[in-house]
Each structure stands twice: as structure tokens, then as C-alpha cells.
A and B are shown apart, each in its own frame.
Chain A
Amino acid sequence: MKEGLKHIVILVCLLIVAFVANIILAGSSVLKFSEINFADYIFTNIRLSKALTALLCGISLPIAGQILQVLFRNPLAGPYVLGISSASSLAVGIAIMTLNTFGVMGYLFFSKTAIILAAFAGSLCCTLLILFVAKKVNSNVFLLLIGLMLGQIFGALESFIEYFSTDKGLREFVMWSFGSLGNSSYIDISIFAFIGIILLVVLFLLTKPFQVFLVGQNYANSLGVDFAKYRMYFIVISSLLTALATAFCGPIAFVGLSIPIMTRLIYKTSDQKFQLAACLLLGGITMLVCDTLCYTILPDRVIPINVITTLFGSPFIIYLLFKTRNW
């Protein structure tokens, strides 16, 4: 446990460094020391809000991923694999196209709220579908395949809508699907943080059943943990976290799947309190670093966040897999 605490402290320090570095570096120019105060527009309304969004995103998606991976006892599970992200995307696609058709897209507050609500609704619908299927079948592989197929269906429907969309709507949707950390106002960030923190607190209160989920349905039940009941809770928590991130930042790929795998490969413990904490911190660090890279790799050009997370994250995981071999 002491060992664990040491790792957590190190990660927290790294997170603070990544956060500060992100604020200073991730933009059109390097911030001067004199510009770092709340009166400065760029610092407060662009850099700080973007860094906070990156942090929230980096916290919520890996936690969602870890929940699903433990739930299905499969490292391939993640918000993306179960079709939850795709469902969010489809719903947002429908919302953007509809709003454009009726010509009300221009009203910024209205359309933003619509996108957020649509992402939530999409994610929840998919979650309910997954829960429904989960009730019918016991096999995890079966359930994952169903999730993948659902994702494919949502993807196809998305293409269908895109095909018939107006140019303007299409452009907006494509921009949204690149994922963006820079569009959040402080109201958005407050909502994101508020709901996110509530979900994390609930999850913290449920760490005992979560730990027991490691041994699967039958053993969990035989240990007095009501698997069916808690499975509901966990699926709801993970999809709300996914919905939040997708609603405010677009479909951010990869971190939800990769960070939980990374923490398990780096920290060889099955203690889920530690693994969740590590996911949360490492996820935050990764998003902040990736966002910094987006702005610093090419001069005068910003690379979409999804490109960076995948391009740098995947090789790192491959490296870890070869290094550790067994897991």
C-alpha cells in the first residue's frame, strides 16, 4: 500500500507538470511568464479552459474503459468497442444535420446544448441495448461481438446521414468528429466536472463490488455480491462518463481503451482502487501531453488530437506488451 501511495504521488507530480507545460506550450505561441494571470484573456479563456477540458477527458474515458474491461474481463473492451461512442456520434450527427436543415444551427448556445444532449441520449440508448443483450446471454465474447456489430450499424447509419447532408452540416460534423478540446466554456467545464466528480464518488463507494467483479459473475454471486445489480450501476457509470467526454470534446479515440491496459502493464497489482486512481492520473497526463504535442510538432499547424493519441499511444502499448509478455 505504501508502495502504491508512492506511485500515486509521482503520478500527481507528473500531472501537475504536464498541466503547466500544456498551458505554456499548447497554443500559437509560448506563453510568457507575465501572461500567466487570470486577467490575461488567452491564459484564462483559451489555455486554461483547454487544459482543464483535456484533464477531464483524460480522466473520464480511461475510467470508463477500465470499468468495461473489468466488467467483461476482457482487455479489448472499451467505450469504442461496445459501440457507445459510435452511438453518441450518430446521435450528434443526426442533431447537427437536423439543426442545419431547419436553419437553427447558428444559435450557438442552442446548438451546443443540442449536441451535448444528443451525445448523452445516443450513449444511453446504446447502453440500454447492451444491457438488454447482457441480460439474455452469459458469454462475454458474444456480448463484445454484439457491441462491435452495433458500432458498425451506427457507423453505417452515420455514413448514410452524411451522404444526404448539406455541405455545411457535413463540415461541422467532420470537425466535431476530429475531437476537440478547445471548444468548452467554463459553464461546460463546470457541468463536466460536476457530473464527473459525482460519478467518480459513486464509483469509489462501489470499489468493493468492482474488485469482486474480477472473478466473474458466478464467483461474485457466491461471495454475496449481487452481480446483476452492480453490473447495471457500472454500465451506467461508464456510459455516462463516455457520454460526457464525447458530448463536450467529440469522439476522443484510444485513451479509453489504452490507458487501462497501460496501467495494468506498468503497475502489477489487481487492487482496483489503485488501478482506477492510476487510470485517472495517467489518463490526464496522456491527454495533456498529447494536446501539447498537437500544437508543437508542426510549426503553424495544429494536428487533431485523435491522430496524436493513437499514433503515440499504440506503439507504446506494443512496446509494453513485448516487454512484459505475460499479463
Chain B
Amino acid sequence: MDITLNIRDLNIGYVSKKQTKVVYKNITASFAPGMLVGIIGKNGLGKSTLLRTIAGLQEKLQGEIYFDERSLEQLSKQELAKMIAVVLTEKVGGFNLTVIDLVSMGRVPYTNAFNHLQEEDTKIIEECISICGLNDHKLKPINELSDGLFQKAMIAKGLAQQTSIILLDEPTAYLDFPSKHQLFELLKKVSIEDKKCIITSSHDIELVLKYASHLLIMSEDHEFEFVETDKYKSSELFKKVTNGYFV
């Protein structure tokens, strides 16, 4: 299940009839199991676009995305769903969806045509709920959750998907300070204990520095750096992106 994600000379952006808008160019990085990668950079640089492109939710413009030996194009949607889980910024809820319903969605790539949950599926769902500390909120409608619990529920869904890679788009936005810490602690724990590769964008730089194993730094000038967190002090780009606040 341990998959290494390789990105080479990736150009991301949007294509319309009239024009191609390149958001970011020449991204190259290699993500291995056990990494917790924090993507940092200003709003509007293409952090979400990058995550969406890797997840196959959006077409890449150029370059290569490889999962071990296989490229993104070679994988069916179903296969991809067993490799990558996503936690996006959009809200989900209503229609009587409860936490356990949401987490059960994670089993969709594995269930039969009638979405019948086997005993094993149920076990996995319960486990993921428990890992994310949601035991007391299992039957709560998602609408009634606080932002922190909602993010945890989304992560539990991602865990239930049993992928080797989880992508998160600003999961700590709107959270209060303790919840931010809890969330990163959870991500750290999962990345180490379950040998998952977790890639998350975040504006909480101090938390990223504390918990992430690697940094993916994006700047306004399309410069790009992928470094181990320990070495952030020697990164010129990091200094530039954070205006020198953290050095």
C-alpha cells in the first residue's frame, strides 16, 4: 500500500476556450509514505489548484504525476480513489447526514454496486471515528458540528478510504487555537503510525513548522522549494515568503 507520489515539471492552471491560464509552473517533488508536508504560500498562488490537480479533480496543463510506476492518466477513478483521499474547503451537510454516514462514504471505493457495508467496513469506520476522537459525536448531524469537529469528521472519512495519500486544503482555517493543534497532532500521528503521506496547505506557519516533516514553499515569482522542515532556516525562499518573521 505504500505509494510514492512523484511530480515532475508540473504546470497547473485552467483551460478555457479562449485561453490557458497557467497558475504555477515547473513543480517537482517526491512524496513518500510517512511524510507530513505543509504547503505554504500566499492566497491565490495555486495551493488548492495543485492539490486538486494531484487528486485528479482537475486537468494538469503539463508535466507528470506518478504513483509509483503508474501515471495519473493510467489510473481509473476507482483505483485513484483507493490511493488518494481529499479534504477540501467546501462544506458538506444536510439531508440528515450524520458523522457516521459521512465516514461511511470513505468505504464507497470498496463496496459493491449497492454500497453494502461488510463487517470489515463497519469495523474500519468505527476505528477511524475513534482515531479522530469522534466517538461521542457519531450520530450527530454534520450541520450541527463545530468547525473543528467537522474537519475531524472529514479526516475520518479520508482515513476510512484507506489511501496511502491524503490531501488537505487549509484544514485549520476557521478553527480555534486548540483545535488547530489537535488537528495537526492528529495528522502527525496518522502520518507516522499508519505510514501515510499527508499533504496539507496551511497559513498557520508556526504549526506547520512544529508538526510537518517537509515544507513545500510557493512564492509569487513562481519560485518553488521542497525542503525538510529542519532546514527551513537556511531556505532563502522561506525567508522571503514569510517576510523573515520566523528566522
Contact = CB atoms under 8 A, between A and B. Distances in A.
Contacts of B94: 73, 75, 327
Interface string B192-221: 000000000000000000000000000000
A219 B92 contact: yes
A218 B88 contact: yes
Nearest to A204: B114
A267 B82 CA distance: 32
Nearest to B97: A270
A224 B88 contact: no
Contact of B97 (A205, A214, A267, A326): A214
Contacts of B141: 326-327
B96 A269 contact: yes
Contacts of B78: 224
B115 A211 contact: yes
A212 interface: yes
Contact of B86 (A205, A208, A219, A269): A219
Interface residues of B, number: 36
**Prevailing SS type, chain B contact patch:** loop
Contact of B95 (A226, A270, A326): A270
Interface residues of A, number: 27
Contacts of A221: 56-57, 77
A149 interface: no
Contacts of B105: 212, 214-215, 219, 223
Given A211-B115, A224-B81, A225-B77, A216 B96 contact: no
Contacts of A226: 77
B159 interface: no
Contacts of B223: none
Nearest to B110: A224
Nearest to B89: A218
A101 B232 CA distance: 82
B96 A268 contact: yes
B98 interface: yes
Which of B52, B77, B78, B90: most chain A Cβ within 10 A? B77
Nearest to A205: B113
B57 A73 contact: no
A190 interface: no
Contacts of B56: 221-222
B101 interface: yes
B84 interface: yes
A70 B82 CA distance: 25
A208 B92 contact: no
Interface in B51-105: 52, 55-57, 76-82, 84-86, 88, 90, 92, 94-98, 101-102, 105
A208 B95 contact: no
A176 B76 CA distance: 49
B144 interface: yes
Contact of A327 (B52, B84, B92, B96): B96
Contacts of A70: 95
B108 interface: yes
B88 A208 contact: no
B161 A223 contact: yes
A264 interface: yes
B92 A216 contact: yes
Contact of A264 (B88, B90, B95, B109): B95
A207 interface: yes
A173 to B, nearest CB: 37
A215 B102 contact: yes
Interface string A77-96: 00000000000000000000
Interface string A49-80: 00000000000000000000010010100000
Contacts of A271: 101
Interface in B109-165: 109, 111, 113-115, 141, 143-144, 161
A219 B161 CA distance: 12
Given A218-B88, A264-B95, A326-B144, A270 B101 contact: yes
B194 to A, nearest CB: 19
B95 A224 contact: no
Nearest 7 A/B pairs, CB to CB: A224-B81, A224-B78, A208-B115, A270-B96, A223-B108, A270-B97, A224-B77
Interface of B: 52, 55-57, 76-82, 84-86, 88, 90, 92, 94-98, 101-102, 105-106, 108-109, 111, 113-115, 141, 143-144, 161
Given A70-B95, A218-B52, A221-B56, 18 more contacts: A207-B115, A212-B105, A214-B101, A218-B57, A219-B88, A221-B77, A222-B57, A223-B106, A223-B108, A223-B109, A224-B80, A224-B81, A224-B82, A264-B96, A268-B96, A326-B141, A326-B144, A327-B143
Interface of A: 70, 73, 75, 205, 207-208, 211-212, 214-216, 218-219, 221-226, 264, 267-271, 326-327
14 contacts: A73-B95, A207-B114, A208-B113, A214-B105, A215-B102, A218-B86, A222-B55, A222-B81, A222-B86, A223-B161, A224-B80, A224-B82, A267-B96, A327-B143
